[in-house]
Amino acid sequence: MQPRNTWPDILITSLLIALPILALGWATGQFWPTVAFLLGAALAWNIANLLWLETWLRRGGRAEPPDVRGLWGVIFDQLYRRRKRHEHRVHRLRQLLERYRDSARAMPDAVVVLNDDLRIEWVNTMACQLLGLDWPRDEGQRITHLLRHPEFLQFMERARESLARVTVPSPLDDERQLELRMLPYGDAQYLLLARDTTHLHRLEVMRRDFIANVSHELRTPLTVLYGVTETLEEELQEQPELARSVQMLREQSERMKLLVDDLLLLSRLETGETTGPQDWFNPFPMLQKLTEEARVLSGTEGHQFVLDADPALEFLGNPNELRSACANLLFNAVKYTPGGTRVTLRWQADADGARLSVEDTGPGIASHHLSRLTERFYRVDAGRTQSRGGTGLGLAIVKHVLARHDGHLSIESEVGRGSRFTCLFPLGRTRPVEAPPATVE
């Protein structure tokens, strides 16, 4: 509410006091001394009020203001009201902040507020329980001085830019797994969130182990079955009816064998179980060999192959895994495109990194499939995939191989024009070789 304008009242009261005194002074012939007396009294009154005001403000302005009349009374009153309103607002903000803190405290996840320098500004109770932080003792400490797991340190180095997430063992108990996330918050602050994902992690390990074990157990009986059907097929050449059934048996057991092999490879890649060490090697001869194998696979279909590879570009990685990824892409280009299609295999590096790509001028893939192609068993056309011997695991294998080599897969495709599958690797994974190998064409 706007305070009432008190000027007219004050003016009238002042005049009512001053005019009779001046009239008296005039009547007694002491007009000017009376004027001087009035001015002096007004000055003394104002100085006294100024002193009161200063004393009142110096004491914090919280006590009731002095009971003064006139203009000074209005000033004291307004200052006092403002002060009260301000205190009320601060109180409400404090309550609001406290409520936010209470809700953050009650969260089932750990919450750590960090400043731009990754120093702790606030933590909730769960952060103390999950991350072993001590509040308020750790206030102002750099989080990277308290949590020292190498993966966590690596994550924190790039978290401010990429705001990714990471799963690391709990600093209090190696058996427990924590998923950590960083989010920008407020003014140059970050929220570090952590939740216990031990349960999920165990389920994931169980799933992987189950697939690996089942695949492993199935492998031997399938190999036997496949071998027997092959022999039987030869034996039964005289009985075409039976031979036909046995041929179907052989084809199906071969499909199952391929599936089991891919599942085993995938689970090995997933669990990080190495298929061999990573080292510097020149992929060029391997790419030449793969092109020849693709030519054999194409057979009479007559795909045209172009190898456009840098013969003097070495790669830091596992040759078997890179071969497997490249073979999947190259053989897909043969399997899923009609005869006569041109297939180009490239291996090159530029300032942005190294690229291994397989490009075809085949039928292409509709855009809504692209984001799902690397999912296990995802097929664009299930019938065609199976008839071409596909397991639906090829691109999932490629994705895992790339992840183990700090790379990623980019898929571009246009229906009717063709597809390009590109494996992108950081520059640090490549280096030029001094002398190109003798096998260069």
- Provide the binding-site residues for ligand ADP, judged by CB under 6 A: 328, 332-333, 336-337, 360, 362, 365, 373, 378-381, 385, 390-395, 419
Between 25 and 363, CB nearer to ligand ADP: 363
Shorter beta-carbon distance to ligand ADP: residue 193 or 373? 373
Cα 108 from Cα 127, distance rounded (Å):
10
Phi-psi region of 313 (alpha: psi -120 to 50; beta: other; left: phi over 0): beta
Expressed in percent and rounded to 5, the helix, strand and coil fractions of the chain are 55, 20, 25
C-beta closer to ligand ADP: residue 328 or 430: 328
Sequence-distant (≥ 6) Cβ neighbours of residue 147 within 8 angstroms: 131, 171
Which are the contacts of 303, defined by CB distance < 8 A and separation ≥ 6? 294, 295, 333, 334, 337, 339, 340, 341, 342, 343
Helix axes 394-403, 240-271, angle to 10 degrees: 20
Q: Which is nearer to ligand ADP, 170 or 385 (CB)?
A: 385
> Closest Cα to residue 430, out of 319, 316, 350?
316
Token digits of residue 168: 């690391």
Report the residue number, 120 or 333, with the smaller CB distance to ligand ADP. Answer: 333
CA atoms within 13 A on the CB side of 11: 4
How far apart CA 48 and CA 337 sit, in angstroms, is: 100
C-beta closer to ligand ADP: residue 182 or 395: 395
To ligand ADP, the closest distance from the beta carbon of 379 in angstroms equals 4
**Shortest Cβ 315–ligand ADP spacing (Å):** 22
Closest CB to ligand ADP among 25 and 362? 362
CB 149 to ligand ADP: min, Å: 34
Q: How far is the CB of 389 from ligand ADP (least distance, A)?
A: 8
Q: Tell the smallest beta-carbon distance from residue 262 to ligand ADP (Å).
A: 7
In 159-205, the DSSP E strands lie at: 165-169, 177-185, 189-196
Minimum CB separation of residue 330 from ligand ADP in Å reads 9
Q: How far is the CB of 109 from ligand ADP (least distance, A)?
A: 36
How many helices and strands in the chain, by DSSP H and E? 13, 13
